[in-house]
Amino acid sequence: MQTVRNTGDANDRGDASEFWPGRYAGQSALIVGGTGGIGAAAARRLAAEGASVGILDLNGDAAQTLAQELSDRGYTALGYALDATDPAQVARVFDDFETRMGKIDVLVNMAGLYSHIEFSAMTLDVWRKYIAINLDITFVTTHDVLPRMIARGYGRISTVSSASIALGLTEYAGYIAGKSGVIGLTRVLARLGGGHNVTANTIMPGLIETSVSKASYGSHWASVAEQTAAMQSVPRIGGPEDIADGIAWICSRQARHITGQVLNIDGGLHFTD
């Protein structure tokens, strides 16, 4: 294995991220919600390791801009505008990507809606919006892609949850409920796909420094980050590349015997059995 130090990522913390050139050679990957901090980092990592990537996002301009950036660097990338709550749109985009790339080896579900709303102030309509983004999208995308992967006899599905589900924070009820649900759904997918060389796992990030998380906490970001880092075994706030590292590993061929699992990437804030 050749290890290359990647010093070009502005969000690296501590040691620079490393990647494995060619690990994904000949493979193709779809990243749903691929223009946010973590989604973009995952797209860049998988592309750097040889995958042809499809970047799917409600913001189609941002998806195409990132795809162009990767193309300019010599990688194969396509950007799509996609409302992933719509099964018909998902089917059309997945069909197009599969036609162009020949197959779908990897699906990474990054979509999420995250903001402060106290439970007492949450209406049913708002609740449904959070569940639609944080859980329903995972159902819609995996319901489409799983038969494709089973038919080919290979696939990797990775869905991003959140370490906040262990905390019961009262201002994140919809987010926590949705991100808890994807863990149970992922275990169902693991049972369905296991006999066909299709694995499904969940990534559970802790507090990660992205523009969304910083905006969510506003002026409190610095104090929240400092307090959280002090509680972690590794006392620093992670960056998007820390999560991209985990995605690149759990979706690789080398993780072939791992399925239905939750991979915590939170600097050791929580320990699970």
Q: Is 217 one of the annotated active-site residues of the chain? A: no
Given the residues 75, 130, 175, 217, the one annotated as active site: 175
Instruction: Please answer whether residues 218 and 229 qualify as being in contact, where contact means their C-beta atoms are separated by less than 8 angstroms.
Output: no
What's the first-to-final CA gap in the chain, in angstroms? 31
- Please give the single-letter amino acid code of residue 190: A
What's the CA gap between 9 and 11, in Å, rounded? 5
258: left (phi over 0), alpha (psi -120 to 50) or beta: beta
What's the CA gap between 108 and 106, in Å, rounded? 7
How distant, in Å, are the alpha carbons of 19, 250, 251 from that of 254?
Answer: 14, 8, 8
Place of tokens 């509680």: 231
Determine the 3-state secondary structure of 38 from DSSP. Answer: helix
Element (H, E) at 159: strand 155-160
What's the CA gap between 138 and 237, in Å, rounded? 27
Instruction: Please answer whether residues 160 and 112 qualify as being in contact, where contact means their C-beta atoms are separated by less than 8 angstroms.
Output: yes
* Residues 6 or more apart whose Cβ sits within 8 Å of residue 204: 160, 161, 162, 163, 165, 262, 263, 264, 265, 266
- 32 — phi, psi (to 5°)? -90, 125
Query: What residues act catalytically?
Result: 175
